[in-house]
Structure 1
């Protein structure tokens, strides 16, 4: 795209894609679609939202640069309003920043980062916003997530600068857009948790994941009964520890351990479970993983192990044995 971009913005049509969770999309849509209708009318931008049966949705904003900036401003201020409202019932004293996730073709991310990180550093310093470019591409696409957080004003200035970069450095080659996968059905229940089947794996139902994490964090396997607060009324504060075993193909074990053990340590910390990986056995194509903890610890550890092994199991087996 042959265009010089002035400070005021040009009537250059641009498309920006945002990745949002269901709750964020609900906030943008508003009751009977009133909020998104108002945003479209006042900004002059086209705002399209992908289908609704996915945990994540893509919000596409298209229009002249000035219309896009107005739409972003309205979204950023709406999210800040949501944060303020949620804090009225909270004891937290510091207000979290507004966060937006852009979806950008990977071929443009190099220009956005700049040589030795110079461009992204310049954007951070001049706008006051935090900007992070994901190292990996989103599943089945050639796009990366770019996370922006800060005050609404900082985010608007940051988006302006990102738009300038995108106009000056158009994508190279074909872009395969990221399409969030629909939430899978059916839902199955095991060990008191809801799971959906995605491909060969059982994944905790999206609404269950937060609950799993809260349970896991509040129920460590070796805390005496009665010394922790139950995460949910009616649940024993600290169920007895149990052990669960998985077998993982050797070619996926590296994804789970991570560089110098960083990933497996992260899974241990997040789940609260003890996780032991058996040494490789000669002639075997699998490794055994032993997880010890409460049912909540084990469920979350299973989910995180499954999420880490991003490549499909070449043997076509479910990581979660029946």
Structure 2
């Protein structure tokens, strides 16, 4: 390996971090036997390649380094995936080779620049590289990131990643990014609006782990932070972060315990969280109601926590009728 660093096309040689979302099987392929494959990728590309811990069906692979090392790492990953496809096809009668697919995780605030006005940028990327590029419409759960899926030949993918890196460098993320963290493998009973619930009696109770997290979030992000002080959970945030919106779906038969008598409970949650909370009217034929929470990430977390705490209180009363108070 020559010590001289090759400038990549267009003189781009800035340090950048790209995050990839992979299934367990794909991660196993990248790590290789005794970690040999990932070790080789790190050495040959010069990029830092980190793989998130945890027994999760999905893992995050983070690639960091000057852009030329990132492109080399991506090329090695794309060719490895192609090799896996060819190997898996040797046992199957299929004749057409499926494309290699990679999923990037990109801050939502940069997705507009990737798509371009009226979809012009993404169209240009597809046409000039031959790769298929798709930006997910929704953010990944409990984050402000979106998945960007790239499919095609390894060569098309590498060209496409180069163009995406240019856009990301030209349009840095705005505000704070809440990174996506994949969920552990143990699946909760119900998943609604990105929130896990277990069923007790007739009520859905927030999953204990999630409650702890929400509680910690609420403690960290009380909206009563003195002005000018940074919220610990979102480094680099100023005193008035941009407003965002979060939607929850609540079964019709549970909505009453959130609203309370003559709206007392929902008003209390609004005041305590500082968030705007709108409850959609019941739709004909639907067993659920949409709740829209608007405010800073801190306000939203606190409102979610208070709503979940309300479920918990009601469930406690349901399980122990003697503790019932007028609520």
TM-score range, shorter chain: 0.5 to 0.7
CA distance in 2, matches of 1:55, 1:262: 42
Per the normalisation by structure 1, the TM-score is 0.59
CA distance in 2, matches of 1:258, 1:135: 34
- CA shift at 1:9, angstroms? 4.4
Q: Tell me, yes or no, if structure 1 residue 32 matches structure 2 residue 65.
A: no
Say whether the 8 Å CA contact 2:79–2:154 is kept in structure 1: yes
Deviations 1:166-209 (A, max 9, x none): 00000000000000011127999999999999999999999999
Say whether the 8 Å CA contact 1:83–1:96 is kept in structure 2: yes
What root-mean-square deviation, in Å, do the aligned CA atoms of Structure 1 and Structure 2 show? 17.5
Say whether the 8 Å CA contact 1:218–1:237 is kept in structure 2: no
Task: Give the length in aligned residue pairs.
Answer: 314
Q: Residues 88 and 290 from structure 1, CA distance in 2 versus in 1: closer, same or farther, beyond 3 angstroms?
A: farther
- CA shift at 1:138, angstroms? 0.3
- CA shift at 1:119, angstroms? 0.2
Which stretch shows the higher mean deviation, 300-309 or 277-286?
Answer: 300-309
Q: Residues 228 and 197 from structure 1, CA distance in 2 versus in 1: closer, same or farther, beyond 3 angstroms?
A: farther
Which stretch shows the higher mean deviation, 133-142 or 189-198?
Answer: 189-198
CA distance in 1, matches of 2:142, 2:256: 21
Q: Residues 40 and 88 from structure 1, CA distance in 2 versus in 1: closer, same or farther, beyond 3 angstroms?
A: same
Q: Mind listing any 5+ residue stretches in structure 1 that lack a counterpart?
A: 315-321
Say whether the 8 Å CA contact 1:219–1:239 is kept in structure 2: no
Write the mapping of 1:135-214 to structure 2, written as runs, cut at 5 A.
Answer: 135-184=137-186
CA distance in 2, matches of 1:14, 1:236: 24
- CA shift at 1:93, angstroms? 1.2
Partner SS, residue 10 of structure 2: coil
Say whether the 8 Å CA contact 2:46–2:65 is kept in structure 1: yes
Deviations 1:197-244 (A, max 9, x none): 999999999999999999999999999999999999999999999999
Q: Residues 30 and 191 from structure 1, CA distance in 2 versus in 1: closer, same or farther, beyond 3 angstroms?
A: same
Q: Residues 102 and 224 from structure 1, CA distance in 2 versus in 1: closer, same or farther, beyond 3 angstroms?
A: closer
- CA shift at 1:111, angstroms? 0.3
Corresponding residue for 1:263?
265
Say whether the 8 Å CA contact 1:203–1:303 is kept in structure 2: no
Q: Tell me, yes or no, if structure 1 residue 89 matches structure 2 residue 122.
A: no
Which stretch shows the higher mean deviation, 233-242 or 44-53?
Answer: 233-242
Say whether the 8 Å CA contact 1:250–1:285 is kept in structure 2: yes
CA distance in 2, matches of 1:95, 1:271: 53
Say whether the 8 Å CA contact 2:190–2:196 is kept in structure 1: yes
* Displacement over 3 Å in runs of 4+: 1-6, 185-248, 250-311
Q: Residues 216 and 274 from structure 1, CA distance in 2 versus in 1: closer, same or farther, beyond 3 angstroms?
A: farther
Q: Residues 80 and 11 from structure 1, CA distance in 2 versus in 1: closer, same or farther, beyond 3 angstroms?
A: same
Write the mapping of 1:107-146 to structure 2, written as runs, cut at 5 A.
Answer: 107-146=109-148
- CA shift at 1:304, angstroms? 28
Q: Mind listing any 5+ residue stretches in structure 2 that lack a counterpart?
A: 314-319, 322-326
